[in-house]
Amino acid sequence: MSRAALAQRTAGRVGRCNPEGNLAPWVHGLRSWCRCGEELHHQRTSPTVNDWTEVDSQGRSHIDQAPALLREDPKRWWAELFAANPQAYSTLRAAVDLGHHSWFHIHRAEVYAIGPVPLGPTCHGRPMRASPDGWECREMRTLYAYREAS
């Protein structure tokens, strides 16, 4: 959702945020894995974006899974595919040309380790969202900087 859409969504709301609970920094509690088997870790998306990205141990959020020959000599790879299996060539070529197929695998956590989930603060009766810069109220979109536990 864009910032403009969020601003419009919260523009008419009245009330004050009153976070309840500890505003201490969120610790990524549970280990997670992608369906490809890579263990994932959270890191900040970019210096200007207040959100997380899931990356593997090499810091990659996506992997190029194209066959080596396709990366080295795409014309030859497509010609060999056509010669070996015209139906597969036609199907794959159409999907690629229409933008429905990509050789990139994007990491997404699908498997989580079992364990207690650390609970964060709430606001307006709903759990707040943990972001790199602090806790965000889901209702008013107000950001509260992390504070050390007192």
Burial of 40 (0-12, 13-18, 19+ CB in 10 A): buried
DSSP H helix total and E strand total for the chain: 4, 11
In a domain? residue 97: yes
In a domain? residue 95: yes
In a domain? residue 28: no
Mention every residue, 6+ apart, whose C-beta is less than 8 A from residue 99: none
Counted domains in the chain: 1
Residue 67: the pLDDT is 87
Structural domain harbouring 83:
66-102
CA 19 to CA 8: how far, in whole Å? 22
Per-residue confidence at 82, pLDDT binned at 50, 70, 90? very high
| Per-residue pLDDT tens over the stretch 119-138 | 789 998 899 998 999 999 99
Per-residue confidence at 13, pLDDT binned at 50, 70, 90? low
In a domain? residue 116: no
In a domain? residue 89: yes
In a domain? residue 85: yes
In a domain? residue 122: no
